[in-house]
Chains A and B, each alone.
Chain A
């Protein structure tokens, strides 16, 4: 992938409204945002109701994902353009999720819903229905998904990037500041992880910074491009944003998102934890 193939601008989306080979999909943390107004023709995915298994703590499986996209009228050969609030956190998460299940053509609207709104572009509240499709998902591509044991094994040997805010990294906050402070049993971070908050990769309007700025950002943080990389946050959505930057925009080949993230790691028994502003040691 590359910036040109993975990202589209608001102008591009505006010009392609009504193009029936393109499906706009809104994914928000605030799942009521879509109902109040969305880009014309966009369908909604609920990151929790639609993408999480209702019983086990995991994603919906391949067949469930296929059934979900079929029900939303998305076909295997459609180009899916994702956008959402929170600077595209959950849209980036859905992008990674579509890639996990092998969707070929998926793109992210640069700046997401915020950029669209700050540009005063039109949002509509008409319901959108699309004809049922016969979507077939592929097996998960676990080359982009990290699990807890490989994260523990990566301490001291791979790039670990904690993309939460400095206060969450240090253990002073347990969750982003727009959410109640609960979740993991312990605060802190995975030892040796560098703290590169996702927000440093974005401009105020939610668009991604330039390639040169992004390369400098991770070089300054000591990212060794010769090593594999695992990004994590609290529940895996902000780290999808950083995974997108590293894997899709900067085209680093071996980058995984740890969706268990701090809610899982910070509740594990027996694993090392570092607190404070420094990465810590093995």
Chain B
């Protein structure tokens, strides 16, 4: 989808001070991937949550503070892992290549 907003979904109506947010966009080349899944694994590699990307390739997690891994799954590509750190009161914006 051309012209999609970069970064994760809108943070309107969310009290960021209480949350440790990890969000972003999955892209293939420069195009958002709207039929991918993003999995959040904790510091031990344990599954914590998973979401499908939106039509504009975006995803969001309300994690706890600490180190996390994002695993991206999309049709016809190898699953890819990416490390990320979350802090309460801030938003970790991530662009992930599928």
A interface residues, Cβ below 8 angstroms from B: 30, 33, 36, 85-87, 114, 117-120, 165-167, 172-173, 175-181, 197, 199-200, 204-205
User: Knowing A180-B62, A197-B46 touch, does A118 contact B51 (C-beta < 8 A)?
Assistant: no
Chain B positions within 8 Å of A204 at CB level? 39, 71, 73, 79
A209 → chain B, closest Cβ, in Å?
13
Is B7 part of the binding interface, using a Cβ–Cβ cutoff of 8 Å? no
B19 at the interface (CB under 8 A from A): yes
Which B residues are CB-close (under 8 A) to A118?
37, 73-75
Contact residue among A119, A173, A179 (Cβ-Cβ distance under 8 Å from B64):
A173
Contact A181–B46 (Cβ < 8 Å): no
Instruction: Please determine whether A86 and B50 come into contact, CB atoms closer than 8 angstroms.
Output: yes
B63→A165 contact, CB < 8 A: no
**In the assembly, what is the distance between CA of A86 and CA of B52, in Å?**
8
Residue pair B76, A172 in contact (C-beta under 8 Å) = no
Does B48 touch A at the CB level, under 8 Å?
A: yes
Interface string of B21-57 (1 = CB under 8 A from A): 0000000000000010101101010111111100100
A281–B3 Cα distance when bound, in Å, is 56
Query: Once the chains bind, are A199 and B75 in contact (CB under 8 Å)?
Result: no
From residue A178, how far is it (CB to closest CB) to chain B in Å?
A: 4
Knowing A114-B37, A118-B75, A120-B75, the reply to whether A178 touches B42 (Cβ < 8 A) is no
Q: Which residues of B contact A179 (CB under 8 A)?
A: 62
Give the interface of B toward A (CB within 8 A): 14, 18-19, 35, 37, 39-40, 42, 44, 46-52, 55, 60-64, 71, 73-76, 79
Contact A177 B47 (CB under 8 A): no
**Would you call B49 and A177 a contact (CB within 8 A)?**
yes
Are A33 and B47 in contact, CB atoms less than 8 angstroms apart? no
**Can you give 8 contacting A-B residue pairs, CB < 8 Å?**
A33-B52, A119-B75, A176-B49, A177-B61, A178-B40, A178-B61, A181-B18, A181-B62
Partner of B49, one of A119, A120, A165: A165
Complex Cα distance, B43 from A166, in Å, reads 11
B46 touches A166 (CB 8 A): yes
CA distance A200 to B41 in the complex (A): 12
**CB closest chain-B residue, reference A175:** B62
Residue contact A36 to B14, C-beta cutoff 8 Å = no
A176 to B47, CA, bound (A): 10
* Set B44, B64, B75: member contacting A172, Cβ < 8 A: B64
CB distance from B41 to the nearest CB of A (A): 10
User: Are A178 and B46 interface neighbours, CB within 8 A?
Assistant: no
In the assembled complex, the Cα of A137 lies from the Cα of B19 at a distance in Å of 43
Q: Is the CB of A117 within 8 A of B35?
A: yes
Chain B residue, CB-CB nearest to A117:
B35
The smallest C-beta distance from B25 to any residue of chain A, in angstroms, reads 16
CA distance A167 to B40 in the complex (A): 12
Q: How far is the CB of A33 from chain B (nearest CB, A)?
A: 7
CB pair B49 A36 closer than 8 Å: no
Chain A residues contacting B63 (CB-CB under 8 Å) are 177
Contacts of A120 in B (CB 8 A): 75-76
A85 to B73, CA, bound (A): 14
Measured CB to CB, the nearest residue on chain A to B61 is A177
Verify A167–B48 contact, CB threshold 8 A: yes
Q: How far is the CA of A85 from the CA of B44 in the complex (A)?
A: 25
A117 touches B51 (CB 8 A): no
